[in-house]
Amino acid sequence: MRIFSFWTLVLLVSFHHSSAQAVRWQQSVQYVMDIDMNVETNRFNGIQKLKYSNNSPEKIDRLFYHMYWNAFQPNSSMDVRSRELGKQVINGRQDWDGRVKDRISQLKPEEIGYQKVISLKMNGVAQSFKYHETILEVTLSKPVMPGASVLLEMVFEAQVPLQVRRSGRDNPQTGVRYSMSQWYPKICEFDKDGWHPNPYIAREFYGVWGDFEVNINIDKSYKIGATGTLVNANEIGWGYDQAGSSLKPCVTPKRKWKFKGSKIHDFVWAADPDYIHLTRKINKGPELHVIYNEKLNDAANDSAWLNMMRAAEKVLPFIEKRFGAYPYPQYSFIQGGDGGMEYPMATLVSSPSLGTAFHEWMHSWYQMILGTNESLYAWMDEGFTSFAEDLVSQFHSGTSSLSDYKSALEKNPSNENLKNLIQSLPETHSGAYANYFTLAKSGLEEPMTTHADHYNCNFAYSIDAYSKGEVFLEQLGYIIGAANRDSVLLDYYRQWKFKHPEPADFMRIAERKSGLELDWYKEYWINSTKTIDYAIDSLWEDNGTTKIRLKRVGMMPMPIDLSISFKDGTSEIHNIPLNLMYGHKPSESASEKIVNEEAWRWTHPTYILSVNKKLTEITKVEIDATKRMADISRKNNLLELKW
């Protein structure tokens, strides 16, 4: 999911220390679902057959399902939580999701969402169950033993809610009839830590990988985009059998669409009579689909959606080189939802924004394939995705994210706050740094270990998960070297795809690749809200040698790259590692001399460095000239000497 910030510019658990590829048991699922949709009542009946395989070392005596649409009812937990957060005013704005606000409380009976189970059997035997709003608890008549598989057969019905958040019907902003996400009873994840029956309050997801076969029976005038591949494309036509083909005639009132997807952990679809379908097969790559609503009948709109297709084709080689190969046969950008929301092999986007498209597509790597528990580690999904989005956008446009700030300053050159902000931002990922600085100085920051639904405010969650998570990776490049960091990301993808990695799994790969110890970085940056602030304290000359005293002002220790420029036009970088790293990062500069210094002990607030030059030969001293270290006050990082 992509959130636009208002604050920028105003049994077997693997031993993580093994050098071999990580192994971790996973539950697996096989869904077969038949859906009969009534577009007059906005309700559907469903039959779900779910083969559930218990690959864990534990017996399972109860199951949990997500029933997401039960959140879209007045006085639900999602409704009350949104209204309570809206009572807070932060930076002049109510702290609720602008798409939700108090809208759920105003839904009429025919506008609410619900999912109801009519019957549930395991291996033919009826099971007892009870609702906990958006969670269904099933008490099994017989436990599922380790290594065993069972067949769960469910009959259910649902009503599509009015579009409020992610899923729903009749969104006036897009004109899309049905955005069908979180639409079916979905088995919760059971992993080494047990069940994860997270109620649907606002945010993140966690799912079981498996195979999906979904058959949708709907009014014959409707057109569908979905997860998976359409297996009856020859019956449907409409660009699925061959590019540009029309929807084929149908003699019955309803038409059946049959989709399949493998090694995925969710399924989304959207339907509208006025959809337009663009397709393109990438050479040695997936087939791309762009599906959008033609109600606007706007040539500029058509051009923008076509541009999305072309942009996706252009950036895919870059994505795969930097982040790993895309493993699925297709990907669909489908107009729907309320902004941007990712799903396996597809995303719902409300507009043809390329930034949104890139962000949601990159979720394929950091949520659909790696699949971290987003509720616990939202920053590993949203932050890593935002990091990738920034690089993909830069590759596509040829301009860095800092250029947006510079353009804004050109339009308003008297804006001193913007001018000072630009001086503190790196060339790439600048928006993330700006957001993080805002949060760090607000007094509202919480540790990134906070459960996504339990942040005290949306403001803190959004910046923590997206921006601080993005800064985490760029700053890691400062600590271990950008080339090392890039290699870590590829190794992380290759070793942990389809295995639900956790923070320690990522950090161990970074340690192996860099040869540096990094526990301290996770503990400070992820587990605390301590901030970075270093200063150049003083310079003096002693017997022809210049002494430079540096000071740690903030509570988070870091390694320091100190750049020193001389009168003769030369310069050098003094790398001062943190003692907790037990080593130096490799040289990142081919043009400057690198001097490796003794480690700075984290217990010591000051550090004195010696330079074999007279003081009058030095013209500039700067801490972290690249500005990748998220120092919250850079005014004391630069000293220019004018002799």
Residues 576-604 have pLDDT tens digits of 999 999 999 999 988 889 999 999 999 99
CB-based contact 266:227 (threshold 8 Å):
yes
pLDDT of residue 3: 55
Segment 436-493, tens digit of pLDDT: 999 999 999 999 999 999 999 999 999 999 999 999 999 999 999 999 999 999 999 9
User: Does this chain's domain 28-395 share its CATH topology with 534-640?
Assistant: yes
SS3 501: coil
pLDDT of residue 635: 94
- Residue with the bigger pLDDT between 643 and 392: it is 392
CB-based contact 608:540 (threshold 8 Å):
no
Q: Is the pLDDT of residue 370 over 60?
A: yes
Per CATH, the number for 534-640 is 2.60.40
Query: Which residues, listed in sequence order, are joined to residue 256 by a DSSP beta bridge?
Result: 217
Mean pLDDT of 65-93: 97
- Cα–Cα distance for residue pair 79/13, rounded to 1 Å: 38
Segment 550-586, tens digit of pLDDT: 999 999 999 999 999 999 999 999 999 999 999 999 9
Q: Is the pLDDT of residue 15 over 60?
A: no
**Topology of the domain comprising 28-395:** Immunoglobulin-like (2.60.40)
Q: Closest by alpha carbon to 333, among 261, 226, 260? A: 226
- Cα–Cα distance for residue pair 379/449, rounded to 1 Å: 9
pTM across the whole model: 0.95
Q: Is the pLDDT of residue 245 over 90?
A: yes
pLDDT of residue 24: 87
Mean pLDDT of 273-289: 95
SS3 385: helix
pLDDT of residue 297: 63
Identify the helix (H) or strand (E) that includes residue 621. Answer: strand 618-623
Task: Give the percent of the chain with pLDDT over 70.
Answer: 96
pLDDT of residue 8: 43
Q: Where are the domains of the chain?
A: 28-395, 396-526, 534-640
Q: Is the pLDDT of residue 7 over 50?
A: no
Mean pLDDT of 115-135: 98
Confidence of residue 4 (pLDDT cuts 50, 70, 90): very low
